[in-house]
Amino acid sequence: MPPVVFGNLQRWGALLARYVDSDGAHVLGGLEPLWGFSCPVLLPDPNVQAGEFAEALSGERWDRVVITGLSERSPLFRELALSLHRLADVYRGEGIHRCVADIDEGYDGWLERRSSRFRQQLRRRDRAAAAAGITFADVHSPDGLMERLLAVEARAWKQDEGMASAPMATMYETMIDRLGRRRRLRVSFARLDGRDVGFILGGVRAGIYRGLQLSYAAETADLEVGHLLQAHQLRRLPGVQTYDLGMDMAYKRRWADRVVPTTVLVARRR
């Protein structure tokens, strides 16, 4: 998956990767092809720079270009579609819906918008956790962090879906190291009897907190540690306006204020 950089990086840029699919087709797409949350193309002036991007692509070998993370109503989507149409047949692909909470008014402002039942449940969980001896520890350094996270994952309710598999572990370890070095890492652990029983992991940038992973030991399920960690993280994000909870799921909607759709642009070379 060698990366390919387009643009002069002072005016515009695109960071793509080369793939070969199961049919042997050569694909240019984002570095993160599994979920497709992010957009690999940065064009401050898409009216001009989308054409320059298409021109740069014309000299590359590819059968298909896949650009994710686009807003269908944006000038970027429109101009990319028009410019890529000079080289290829362009299609709109199904994208991702993300749950987003607005926390520009802080935790209290966010909490006021939740239902009375939701607030009552939070208070009940807090009381039960305190009675059981649950505490929270915030971590700011990436040193030794991956080992702690994986130790919780080994006892987690979602062992087959988490971050313990080799490719996922490598990706998360790299992200944790880079976020830590840039002071953008936000991690908290739930602890019981001196032992980690859950964690919430994410990063901040430009006023946005992006949740990356949340997990807890199966034996603490009755204490609803996942909800406790989510509320704890919401309380400790000063200067953050947006909490991006990631892929749309039913349980996340109770925490979110809105659902944000993105779409995918697919260009098949003629």
181-219: b (≥16 Cβ within 10 Å) or e? eeebbbbbbbbbeeebbbbbbbbbeeeebbbbbbbbbee
Strands (DSSP E) found in the chain = 3-6, 13-20, 26-29, 41-42, 64-70, 88-93, 97-102, 135-139, 185-192, 195-205, 208-216, 242-247, 258-261, 263-269
Would the pLDDT of 76 be above 90? yes
At 160 the pLDDT is 56
Prediction pTM value? 0.86
Would the pLDDT of 1 be above 70? no
Q: What is the mean pLDDT of the chain?
A: 93
Which tens digits make up the pLDDT trace of 215-269? 999 999 899 999 999 999 999 998 999 999 999 999 899 999 999 999 999 999 9
